[in-house]
Amino acid sequence: MSDLQNRIQQLKKEKNAVILAHYYVHDEVQEAADYVGDSFYLSRLAATTDADTIVFCGVSFMGESAKLLSPGKTVLMPDETADCPMAHMADIDRIERLREEYEDLAVVCYINSTAELKCHADVCVTSSNALKIVKNLPNHNIFFIPDEHLGRYVAAQVPEKNFIFNDGFCHVHAAVSPEQVRAAKRSHPEAKFLVHPECKADVLELADFIGSTSEIIDYASSCEAEEYIIGTELGVLYELKERNPDKTFYSAGAALCCPNMKKITLEKIVHVLETGENAVQVTEEMRTRANAPLNRMLELAAKES
Ligand code: 13P
Ligand code: SF4
């Protein structure tokens, strides 16, 4: 174990801290974490952990969600500037206008969103539970924010509801093109193509499997195929290779790298544990309002479908 890894273990004990990391962070950060997972898994853990301090190795909306779900805990962000651009891509005025237009509107907010946007939502979803939650909502009219592509992916499977889309997108996943995927398939004709629903519809059409980061990892780990082309951020390759040392994984494109997730380093984890800097703050008003759709997500996701 490196000196930095040792120091992190020591500080964690001193502060009764737990380290949560998303699959998109650097390999060595995943190695240092107590729990690594997708957004849904991490938000459930944040809501239930006994630790006094959560170090969230991910982007701002993840730390904010952890603080909303566990207001009594200290949530430290190793890099305060690690932010997801998509989390800001929706307009509150438009939400309000649509609420006036459609009486039964449900504003369904992908967890990749600011706490401010969540204040205006009826329910949050992650990529692993969006379909189940939207299907089970009583509302007919759905405004899906901020990700257009995840929204369209869900809508295609719930034709009985009327969807209104927003034009937000993840610049990492939306950059994957069908040409890139076809080229990867030509180079690796036996490989299965596994993709995240933040990619565009013309890319999803080429998939053997569509799912969240955890679902992609579980699928590849239980499938018999030996080769896989992975259509999500390249950080997932670490867990894929750990769990499947005999299988081969190719990234669908060199650009599949989230620059914000990659800002998290071991040095920065040590720094926030030592100093207590970068603690997430949310106002009481924001906590009450933004917590409601997050808790509704946790309740609806736990229900039998
Ligand atoms: P999941 O963790 O739900 O797979 O989402 C991916 C993502 O883009 C997180 O930023
Ligand atoms: Fe945001 Fe995309 Fe990075 Fe996820 S991968 S944090 S959605 S920019």
Per-residue model confidence as pLDDT tens digits over 34-54: 999 999 899 889 999 999 999
Question: Rounded to an integer, what distance in angstroms lies between the CA atom of residue 65 and that of residue 118?
Answer: 10
pLDDT of residue 1: 76
Residues 189-234: pLDDT tens digits? Answer: 999 999 999 999 999 999 999 999 999 999 999 999 999 999 999 9
With a 6 Å cutoff on the Cβ, whether 251 touches ligand 1 is: no
pTM equals 0.95
Please report, rounded to a whole number, the percentage of residues in the chain having pLDDT higher than 70.
100
- Residue 2: CB atoms within 10 A of its CB come to 11
**pLDDT (tens digit, 9 = 90+) per residue, 56-83?**
999 999 999 999 999 999 999 999 999 9
112 lines ligand 1 (CB under 6 A): yes
Q: Rounded to the nearest whole angstrom, what is the distance from the C-alpha of residue 257 to the centroid of ligand 1?
A: 13
Rounded distance, CA 162 to CA 140, Å?
6
Q: What is the pLDDT of residue 305?
A: 66
Average pLDDT over residues 142-158: 98
According to DSSP, the β-strands at 123-125 and 209-210 are unpaired
Q: What is the mean pLDDT of the chain?
A: 96
Average pLDDT over residues 18-40: 96
DSSP string, 208-271: SEE--HHHHHHHHHH---SEEEEES-TTHHHHHHHH-TTSEEEES-TT---TTGGG--HHHHHH
Residue nearest to atom 7 of ligand 2 (CA): 170
Ligand 2 binding site (Cβ under 6 Å of any ligand atom): 24, 59, 84-86, 112, 170-173, 198, 233, 258, 260-261
Tell me the pLDDT band of 254, cut-offs 50, 70 and 90. Answer: confident
